[in-house]
Amino acid sequence: MEKETQDIKQTQLTAEAHLNKFIAFAQKNKAALAIYRLPNDSKLQLLCDLSGGNYIEELNLEDLSPGFIVHPFQTGIDKIVSFDAEILAEISLNPANGASSKRDVLDWKKSPSEEIEKEIENTNLQFDFNLLENSSNHDSTLASDYIDMVEKGIQFIKREEFYKVVPSKIKNIESNNDINLGQAFINACKKYPNAFVNLTYSSKTGLWFGASPETLIEDKKGEYFKTMALAGTQAKSEKSIAETTWTQKEIEEQAYVSRYIINCFKKIRLRDFDEIGPKTIQAGNLLHLKTTFKVNTESVNFPELGSVMLKLLHPTSAVCGMPKESALDFISKEEKHNRGYFSGFMGPVHLNNLSHLFVNLRCCQIYNQSVTFYAGAGITEDSKAEKEWEETEMKCKVLSNIIFGI
Ligand SMILES: C=C(O[C@@H]1C=C(C(=O)O)C=C[C@H]1O)C(=O)O
């Protein structure tokens, strides 16, 4: 018997223990699993597709059934995969500090049967990291290679091949296969309250963990559409956010992203939008410049705006460059690793009338015996290559700190 939207049953365990049971269950049953915490929310969402998820050729948001989508940077080796919301559960964390306690309650929102709930609750297996396949991304990017790539990018900008490009790197750290995934997730929720904290697992996509500061699209059916231009990075200092200053380089770098979004609106002749910012926002130990764009989809009479904009926006100039085609060409030729799902996007679709997709940043892929962290930095004519390398190091630390304490 299917039981939807009703709080069916509550089990008393820590949130961490609940998460680890779900993760081990998903692996054992070859199911697809998405665990996420929306920005500034005190609830964790768990979504499981017992079929293991479906490959999608072309993404049409309006065709998808309620679930979760995982989209790579470029479709090729890595494919778009959708997870159907076959099982939905919610964990309320202690609202005072987002901390997990002995009394974190798991509410089943949807499940195919009581047997499945029991099976998950009774799972005592450990997640087996040995079963994760190693990718082709074995070698960390060398600082010297990254710096050369940035300098080449600056030369291309000077020759007006493009105005901005976002080269990325990978950093591999060896692991003993003893990562406590549930604990890492809860720690990321505590440390990054305004991030989209996510952990996804399927045999099609692998195991990914992230804490993204960036919305790609937020689409509330019949109400609003939102997107954001996020760029420019500096380490948080003693100064208050109000006192933070930005250089011309960072202001320009972020303005490209805003301009790119406005150009997308222009392509579909949409003039009626609110633009808020740029404002300084904090993402962990980093600061960024952010402009929010909001459209009332009801008043502009454009119900499919989210779907249309998604196709136009990805990959934005925050993760690729401007113009898109020539920056993408540079990235494909110069980067030695495969970005996989890094700088792609992911998030819930059509759940409670909301589709909220985030750019997959500040993330890592977990393998047997190692973890690969990904980070990029926006390059403009005034970039200093060493500084950009340091920026990618700081970005990798967002999660390496959670997983390895470094
Ligand atoms: C590419 C990343 O981040 C993006 C690039 C930024 C920049 O270049 O300053 C800032 C925020 C993100 O839009 C990343 O985190 O890896």
Q: Would you give per-residue pLDDT tens digits along the chain (406 residues)?
A: 444 444 444 557 899 999 999 999 999 999 999 999 999 999 999 999 999 999 999 999 999 999 999 999 999 889 999 999 999 999 998 755 445 555 678 999 999 999 999 999 999 999 999 999 877 788 999 999 999 999 999 999 999 999 999 999 999 999 999 999 999 999 999 999 999 999 999 999 999 999 999 999 999 999 999 999 999 999 999 999 999 999 999 999 999 999 999 999 999 999 999 999 999 999 999 999 999 999 999 999 999 999 999 999 999 999 999 999 999 999 999 999 999 999 999 999 999 999 999 999 999 999 999 999 999 999 999 999 999 999 999 999 999 999 999 9
Q: What is the pLDDT of residue 141?
A: 98
Give the span between the Cα atoms of 400 and 166, in whole angstroms: 21
* CA 197 from centre of chain: 8
Q: Which of 259, 236, 239, 256 is nearest to 248 (CA)?
A: 256
In whole angstroms, what is the distance from residue 397 CA to residue 406 CA? 7
ipTM of predicted assembly, 2 dp = 0.99
Residues 6+ apart with CB under 8 A from 220: 353, 354
Between strands 321-322 and 164-165, the pairing is antiparallel
Ligand 1 centroid to 311 CA: how many Å? Answer: 20
Q: What is the pLDDT of residue 134?
A: 77
Q: Determine the distance separating the centroid of ligand 1 and the alpha carbon of 376, expressed in angstroms.
A: 6
- pLDDT of 11 reads 55
CA of 391 to the centre of ligand 1 (A): 9
- Smallest CA separation from ligand 1 atom 9, residue: 232
Considering only the C-alpha atoms of the chain, give the largest distance between any 2 of them, rounded to a whole number of Å: 64
Query: Tell me, what's the pLDDT at 7?
Result: 43
Measured from the Cα of 342, ligand 1's closest atom is: 16
What's the rounded Cα separation, in Å, for the pair 163 and 330?
Answer: 12
Report the C-alpha gap between 282 and 284 in whole angstroms. Answer: 6
Q: Which two tokens stand for residue 275?
A: 């633009």
Query: Best of 233, 250, 257 to mutate for ligand 1, by most ligand atoms within 8 A of CB?
Result: 233
CA of residue 377 to ligand 1 center, whole Å: 5
Query: How many whole angstroms from 359 Cα to the centroid of ligand 1?
Result: 10
Measured in Å, residue 400 CA sits from the centre of ligand 1 at: 17
Contacts of 91 (CB under 8 A, 6+ apart): 15, 18, 19, 43, 44, 46, 104, 105, 106, 107
- Which has the closest alpha carbon to 214: 243, 253, 257? 257
Tokens of 239: 């100064």
Distance CA 325, CA 338 (A): 18
pLDDT of amino acid 101: 53
The pLDDT of residue 81 is 98
**Euclidean distance between CA atoms 289 and 298, whole angstroms:** 29
Q: How far is the CA of 362 from the centre of ligand 1 (A)?
A: 9
Strand bridging mode 87-92 / 345-349: unpaired
Ligand 1 centroid to Cα of residue 234, in Å, is 11
Q: Residue 376 has what pLDDT?
A: 98
Question: Ligand 1 pocket by C-beta < 6 Å: which residues?
Answer: 166, 214, 230-233, 288, 318-319, 361-362, 375-378, 395
How far is ligand 1, taken at its centre, from the CA of residue 267, in Å?
25
Cis previous bond, 278, omega within 30: yes
Residues contacting residue 281 through CB under 8 Å, at least 6 positions apart: 194, 213, 230, 241, 287, 288, 289, 290
Side chain identity at 383, as an amino acid letter? S
Which residue has a Cα nearest atom 2 of ligand 1?
376
Pocket probe mutation, ligand 1, options 164, 196, 395, 396, max atoms within 8 Å of Cβ: 395
Single-letter amino acid, residue 363: C
The whole-number pLDDT of residue 133 equals 85
Judge contact between 188 and 154, C-beta under 8 A.
no
- Strand-pairing partners, residue 380, are none
Residues in the chain: 406
Indicate which atom in ligand 1 lies nearest the CA of residue 361: 15
3-class SS string, the chain? CCEECCCCCEEECCHHHHHHHHHHHHHHCCCEEEEEECCCCCEEEEEEECCCCEEECCCCHHHCCCEEEEECCCCCCCCEEEEECCEEEEEECCCCCCCCCCCCEEEEEEECCHHHHHHHHCCCCCCCHHHCCCCCCCCCCCHHHHHHHHHHHHHHHHCCCCCEECCEEEEEEECCCCCCHHHHHHHHHHHCCCCEEEEEEECCCEEEEEEECCEEEEEECCCEEEEEEEEEEEECCCCCHHHCCCCHHHHHHHHHHHHHHHHHHHHCCCCCCEEEEEEEEEECCEEEEEEEEEEECCCCCCCCHHHHHHHHHCCCCCCCEECHHHHHHHHHHHCCCCCCCCCCEEEEECECCEEEEEECCCEEEEECCEEEEEEECCECCCCCHHHHHHHHHHHHHHHHHHHHCC
Q: Which atom of ligand 1 is nearest to the CA of 230?
A: 13
Atom of ligand 1 nearest to the CA of 343: 1
* Cis status, amide bond into 323, omega within 30 of 0: yes
Ligand 1 pocket test, candidate residues 164, 166, 261, 341, most atoms within 8 A of CB: 166
